[in-house]
């Protein structure tokens, strides 16, 4: 029996695995397509703050930015690079230059998962039997963490809806030297050995599990190169590699970290008034030892180390998770409308 089973080996799942392993837990990790095979493998992956005026999303991303820059630099300096990032508003009204970071997305996910038992399989069944979770009728674990991104959920809850946005990144060989990371219509990395990356998540129509037509890679490449040409003039361009994946966002753009409410049991409770503006989430019934980490939008690599620390402190020490990132907020909205 494992202490914790994690479903999904993207940056969120492997960051939780890493934190738990640091605390001496026995961890088992499942992914239907392998480490960094979802949105995480396609990411840029820039470590930057949020370029907007204010708000709670900016607040959490900015805190996570400070935390994760230090985390990556201290623990994985060989796959983390400090970069000068120039962010330009699409209408050219503003331009900021900041000290940011860049990680090798796939290598970082593999490094974080080092030493964890990995099972390459699609988790289809998750059953609780009084003391532990049974996964695919084969493995048992005390805790389960769902880190499945925007893919079909293992446990479907009507109050949780994740939005998947399809992204595409290309590595291109070019004779143009680019010194800085550039963010405008697309993200462009600095060049290394004559190669740079161009990436964006902008396709809301394509989903790998529900679209009937395959993704048009050539059209995607053309769009990325057209958009990149608005920031930089690239010469002698040859696309040498494509990476694609879904990034997952929540309906209020804030991440989702914490326990899952058992909706039927909670709704049947006679002592909870669901129509109140500010709910008491502690009154709800939760699945035992079942947690999720999801909804990082375009900031998965910025948020993951910070959110994984919050989740692990909650799992191991019952430290409270802020109501603003608790999945219970969506249950409250759902219950209020019934």
Q: Does 245 bind ligand FAD (CB under 6 A)?
A: yes
> Phi-psi region for residue 296, left (φ > 0), alpha (ψ -120 to 50) or beta?
alpha
- Whole-number Cα distances in Å, 307 to 179, 209, 230, 326: 31, 27, 35, 11
Q: Does 149 bind ligand FAD (CB under 6 A)?
A: yes
User: Shortest approach of ligand FAD to residue 218 CB, angstroms?
Assistant: 17
By beta-carbon proximity to ligand FAD, the closer residue of 149 and 258 is: 149
DSSP state of 164: E
By beta-carbon proximity to ligand FAD, the closer residue of 38 and 327 is: 38
User: Shortest approach of ligand FAD to residue 313 CB, angstroms?
Assistant: 19
The residues, ordered by sequence, that sit 6+ positions from 78 with a Cβ below 8 Å of its Cβ are none
Of residues 81, 106, 174, 248, which one binds ligand FAD by CB under 6 A?
248
By beta-carbon proximity to ligand FAD, the closer residue of 39 and 258 is: 39
Helix axis angle, 11-22 to 105-112, nearest 10°? 30
Of residues 5, 13, 85, 196, which one binds ligand FAD by CB under 6 A?
13
User: Shortest approach of ligand FAD to residue 70 CB, angstroms?
Assistant: 15
Angle of CA points 302, 177, 43, to nearest 5°: 25
Q: What are phi and psi of 199, to 5 degrees?
A: -145, 160
- Whole-number Cα distances in Å, 84 to 47, 73, 125, 252: 11, 15, 45, 30
User: Of 80-88, 166-174, 224-232, 312-320, which part binds ligand FAD (CB under 6 A)?
Assistant: 166-174
User: Of 80-88, 163-171, 268-276, 278-286, which part binds ligand FAD (CB under 6 A)?
Assistant: 163-171
Of residues 147, 224, 234, 256, which one binds ligand FAD by CB under 6 A?
147
Give residue for tokens 């493998």. Answer: 41
By beta-carbon proximity to ligand FAD, the closer residue of 101 and 263 is: 101
Half-sphere exposure of 101 (CA within 13 A, CB side): 25
Alpha carbons 102 and 191: distance in angstroms, whole number: 12
By beta-carbon proximity to ligand FAD, the closer residue of 202 and 314 is: 202
Alpha carbons 6 and 9: distance in angstroms, whole number: 8
Q: 3-class SS at 250?
A: coil
Q: Which residues in 279-308 contact ligand FAD (CB under 6 A)? A: 294, 296-302
Contact mark string toward ligand FAD, 190..229, x via CB under 6 A = ---------x-x----------------------------
Q: Does 42 bind ligand FAD (CB under 6 A)?
A: yes
Cβ-based neighbour number of residue 177 at 10 Å: 9
User: Shortest approach of ligand FAD to residue 336 CB, angstroms?
Assistant: 27
Q: Where along the sequence are the contacts to ligand FAD (CB under 6 A)?
A: 7-13, 30-33, 37-40, 42-46, 122-123, 147-149, 151, 154, 167-169, 187, 199, 201, 245-248, 294, 296-302
């Amino acid at each position: 029996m494992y202490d914790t089973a994690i479903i999904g080996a993207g940056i969120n799942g492997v960051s939780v695995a890493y934190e738990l392993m640091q605390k001496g837990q026995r961890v088992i990790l499942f992914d239907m397509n392998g480490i960094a095979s979802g949105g995480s493998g396609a990411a840029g992956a820039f470590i930057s703050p949020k370029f907007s005026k204010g708000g709670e999303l900016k607040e959490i991303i900015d805190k996570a930015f400070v935390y994760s820059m230090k985390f990556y630099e201290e623990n994985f300096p060989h796959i983390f690079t400090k970069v000068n990032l120039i962010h330009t508003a699409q209408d050219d009204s503003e331009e900021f230059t900041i000290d940011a970071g860049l990680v090798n997305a796939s290598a970082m996910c593999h490094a974080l998962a080092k030493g964890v038992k990995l099972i390459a399989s699609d988790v289809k069944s998750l059953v609780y039997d009084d003391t532990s979770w049974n996964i695919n009728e084969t493995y048992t674990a005390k805790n389960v963490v769902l880190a499945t991104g925007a893919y079909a959920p293992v446990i479907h809850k009507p109050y949780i809806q994740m939005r998947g946005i399809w992204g595409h990144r290309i590595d291109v060989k070019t004779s143009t030297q680019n010194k800085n990371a550039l963010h405008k219509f697309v993200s462009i990395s600095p060049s290394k050995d004559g190669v740079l990356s161009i990436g964006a998540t902008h396709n809301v129509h394509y989903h790998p599990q529900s679209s009937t037509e395959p993704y048009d890679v050539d059209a995607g490449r053309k769009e990325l190169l057209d958009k990149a040409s608005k920031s930089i003039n690239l010469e002698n361009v040859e696309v040498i590699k494509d990476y694609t994946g879904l990034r997952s966002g929540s309906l209020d753009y804030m991440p989702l970290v914490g326990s899952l409410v058992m909706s039927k049991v909670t709704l049947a409770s006679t002592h909870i008034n669901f129509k109140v503006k500010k709910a008491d989430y502690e009154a709800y019934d939760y699945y035992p030892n079942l947690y999720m980490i999801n909804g990082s939008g375009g900031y998965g690599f910025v948020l993951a180390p910070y959110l994984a620390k919050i989740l692990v402190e909650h799992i191991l020490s019952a430290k409270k998770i802020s109501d603003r990132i608790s999945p219970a907020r969506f249950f409250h909205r759902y219950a209020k409308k019934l």
